[in-house]
Amino acid sequence: MLLTCGPHSLDLTMPVVMGVLNVTPDSFSDGGLFLHPENAIRQARRMAAEGAGIIDVGGESTRPGADAVEVGEELDRVIPVVEALVAGIDLPVSVDTSKPEVMKAAIAAGASMINDVMALQESGAVEAVAGPGVAICLMHMQGRPRTMQAAPDYEDVVRDVHHFLAQRVRACELAGIDRSRLVIDPGFGFGKSLEHNLALLAALAEFCRDGLPVLVGLSRKSLIGQLTGRPAGERLAGSAALAALAVHQGAALVRAHDVAATVDAVRIAVAVRRSRLAE
Ligand code: 8Y7
């Protein structure tokens, strides 16, 4: 499977690790570390050397309880880093944003993918990405980051999330966006209890059967803390285990902070998956 990704074409035959580059002062796991373009480039090069296939730059913390960021502030954080990465590394650059203004500026600065935790529901977002041939990740979230973990509620979490993503895919297609540009993501931790997250992970193969690449973001997330009792800095083993479980069910992209360990987990899961498919 090939993902159209701006001037790049991302080969998903082997699942791709998306390295996380937070350019926020307040991210729960690496806040403030990569705000400077030089630090961002150094970290992106390290992730590339460890086997990342794409770098995801985010200037708005979407962790539970986080406040929204003004558009000017987000542009100031993200655009210089995108420009530096596009000039300085070979990998496609993704930008994690929900704001149409940031999407447009990021694409103009050379971003190849827009990763939107709101699945292009902001007014003007679909129009902002439809023309240029960038890839788009449509993620499910219930509620908004500030309050989403207060009382997540579903009739049937797998069916509800699946239905939402199918609707957003249809909205994109109606706007003329080719399916070869789309990625779907159930949005682990975004308005989901532990039980919801586990149900979605257990049913991930159903999402993978839609014919669109599935991206998962599980790295260091609080479900690992809930299952292991470990703080965010000690969730590497848990993150690798979840990455393997997701890839074994067919996930095509894995968003991760710890690229080297995730690449190992992906290789192992793929080998097991392929040996079963070859039976
Ligand atoms: C995800 C994400 C985050 C995810 C996609 C964190 C920006 C929270 N999580 N994007 N972003 N999927 N597509 O813990 O799961 O990294 S931010």
86 belongs to a structural domain: yes
Global pTM value: 0.96
CB atoms within 10 A of CB 212: 21
Please give the Cα distance from 223 to 174 (Å, whole number): 36
In the prediction, which pLDDT does 66 show? 80
Distance 278 CA to ligand 1 centre (A): 33
Which H or E element spans position 264? helix 259-277
Kindly list the catalytic residues.
221, 255
pLDDT digits (tens, 9 = 90+) for 96-141: 999 999 999 999 999 999 999 999 999 999 999 999 999 999 999 9
CB atoms within 10 A of CB 64: 18
1 belongs to a structural domain: no
Q: What is the CATH number of the domain that holds 103?
A: 3.20.20.20
- Taking a C-beta distance cutoff of 8 angstroms, is the pair 84, 97 a contact? no
Please give the Cα distance from 277 to 91 (Å, whole number): 30
3 belongs to a structural domain: no
Pick from 17, 117, 196 the residue to mutate for probing ligand 1's pocket: most ligand atoms within 8 Å of its CB.
Answer: 117
CB-based contacts of 144: which residues, under 8 Å, 6+ apart? none
Domain holding 55, by residue range, is: 13-278
4 belongs to a structural domain: no
Pick from 28, 57, 62, 182 the residue to mutate for probing ligand 1's pocket: most ligand atoms within 8 Å of its CB.
Answer: 62
In the prediction, which pLDDT does 153 show? 92
Tell me the CA distances in angstroms from 113 to 8, 46, 257, one per residue in order.
10, 20, 18
Backbone φ, ψ for residue 216 (5° rounding): -125, 140
Q: How many domains does the chain have?
A: 1
In the prediction, which pLDDT does 27 show? 62
* Low-confidence stretches of the chain (pLDDT beneath 50): none
In the prediction, which pLDDT does 205 show? 97
- Widest pairwise Cα distance in the chain: 54
Residue listed under structure tokens 């790049």: 8
Report which residue type is found at 178: D
37 belongs to a structural domain: yes
Does residue 242 have its Cβ closer than 6 Å to ligand 1? no
In the prediction, which pLDDT does 33 show? 75
In the prediction, which pLDDT does 278 show? 65
Distance 254 CA to ligand 1 centre (A): 10
Length of the chain: 279
Backbone φ, ψ for residue 114 (5° rounding): -115, 120
Please give the Cα distance from 145 to 130 (Å, whole number): 26
Query: Minimal CA–CA distance to 204: which of 256, 262, 154, 165?
Result: 165
In the prediction, which pLDDT does 49 show? 98
5 belongs to a structural domain: no
In the prediction, which pLDDT does 269 show? 98
CB-based contacts of 218: which residues, under 8 Å, 6+ apart? 188, 201, 224, 239, 242, 243, 246, 254
Query: Minimal CA–CA distance to 162: which of 132, 145, 184, 182?
Result: 184
Distance 13 CA to ligand 1 centre (A): 23
6 belongs to a structural domain: no
In the prediction, which pLDDT does 113 show? 98
Helix (H, G, I), strand (E, B) or coil at 224: helix
2 belongs to a structural domain: no
Q: Please tell me the residue having the least CA distance from ligand 1 atom 9.
A: 217
